Amino acid sequence: MATQIVMDHSGDSRHHFDTSDLKALAEAERRFKVLTGHGFTAAVRQANGGVSLLRSFDPGVEETLFFPRLVGG
Amino acid sequence: MAVWLTVPATWVGRAVVDLVRAARNAKRRRRARIDSRATRGITLLREWLSPRQREQFDYYNFFEVVGCDSGKSYRIQHGISTNVIELDRDGRPRTGWCLVPEGNLVAGDVMLAQKIALETDERGALAVARQFLVPPPLRAELAPTL
């Protein structure tokens, strides 16, 4: 089971999906494109504790975090 | 005549009491929602921090990240704005950077977005950030080492 975590006003919203389910995978890919299209950045945790950015949907990623565009405060 | 005046006064009194009670309950529910949001944000942040950063955050309420482009260190303090401090080589505050994710996010989410941005796209993050001056630290405020 993979998870997409989206930061929002409620803290975060979590979308779980089965990576072996093609329909769920297509929906997850659509969500990825919509969010990144709206300026969200997608990030994944590395095994060594680091973080990297995800430029395109990867069905093999277990957990993806989306955060909104950063602006000067 | 007295009865005609007393009955409506009782109704008004009850209505006022009900209104006050409803407002108090609404305030309590809102407080609980905010607390729950804040807790979720901190939980998510802690999950994504490295073990050292988590230890720092739990102890000092801030953690340090290293910029991916310059190798500079930044201290991210608990907060939702003006909470990113660039450190010099000796760990002293050098300058402040204000960059926040769009939307009304809780502190944990804001700090996590700042951490990821500085660790993966430092130049891009600082390009949109606004600088602010930080006062020179007192001796006792120098960055502690774990």
Least Cα distance to B83 among B70, B71, B65 occurs for B65
In total, the C-beta contacts within 8 angstroms joining chain A to chain B are 92
Report A:7-36 residues touching B (Cβ under 8 A).
Answer: 7-12
Residue pair A67/A51 in contact by the 8 Å Cβ criterion: no
pTM for the model: 0.82
Complete domains list, chain A, with CATH? 2-67 (3.10.20)
pLDDT at B25: 80
> What's the pLDDT tens digit per position in B103-146?
989 999 999 999 999 999 999 999 999 999 988 766 555 555 55
DSSP lists the bridge partners of residue B87 as B73, B93
Mutation site for B-interface testing, chosen from A3, A9, A12 by largest number of B Cβ within 10 Å: A12
Chain-centroid distance, C-alpha A67: 9
Would you call A9 and B125 a contact, using CB atoms and an 8 Å cutoff? no
